Amino acid sequence: MDDLWIERARRGDAAAFNALMQHWHPRIYRYVRRYFARYAAAGEDGPMAAEVAQKTFISAYEGLGRLRRNAGFRSWLYRIAINHCHAEERRRKPDPLPEDAGTFQVQAWGAGPEGDLTHDDLQRWLQEALRRIPAEQREVVLLKEYEHLTFREIAEALQIPESTAKSRLYYGLKALRQVLEGWRLTPEHLYHES
């Protein structure tokens, strides 16, 4: 169905583009919101995601004629979204991370290895862990784990070699594991929680 919409949208059918937007906007919005999850505490992630998603589709509408092949639409759309995410980040102040922030927050959340963890606890810890890994690795983790892009699509979206995408994902997962282990969080917490 996407192919039909894309083809018609490329020929200037605005209704077809709307259909594409209806289909893809929720996914782009969710990706961008996860991308900006570290602004959730300030309640800024939602508005930022809405704005970036809107910019993404405006850019897509303007640039659809330059899309070379329909099959590349998904990675092309994510690439636009990622570029807008980067632009939004450049516009904002740096986000310094205190050295002891992790320890402090883990204690504040009150859950040790023996404690009971709610899903909200797990979510906060995961967001904090994601925040602590390099941005380029986090991007790949989000695109793979939540958007389910293929490695080829990730490579196209980020304009990097496929092998680099795999490498970033590997090191990103490894870095996440080290952060979680540093907080003494083990797989047993997950199994206990679920």
Q: In whole angstroms, what is the distance from residue 70 CA to residue 16 CA?
A: 14
Amino acid type, 133 = I
Q: State the Rg of the chain over Cα.
A: 19
Choose, by CB under 8 A, the member of 19, 52, 77, 80 that binds another protein: 19
Choose, by CB under 8 A, the member of 125, 138, 155, 183 that binds another protein: 125
The answer to the question of residue 146 lying near another protein (CB under 8 A) is yes
How many CB atoms are closer than 10 A to CB 167? 14
Please identify which residue in the block is written with the tokens 């508005």: 47
Name, in order, each residue with C-beta under 8 angstroms of 85's C-beta and a sequence gap of 6 or more.
Answer: 32, 35, 36, 52
- The DSSP symbol for 93 reads P
The answer to the question of residue 7 lying near another protein (CB under 8 A) is no
Options 42-50, 63-71, 75-83, 91-99: segment touching another protein (CB under 8 A): 42-50
Q: Name the site residues for another protein (rule: CB under 8 A).
A: 13-19, 21-22, 25-26, 29-30, 33-34, 45-46, 49-50, 53-54, 57-58, 61, 119, 122-123, 125-126, 129, 141, 144-146, 150-151, 163-164, 166-167, 169-170, 173-174, 176-177, 180, 187, 190, 193-194
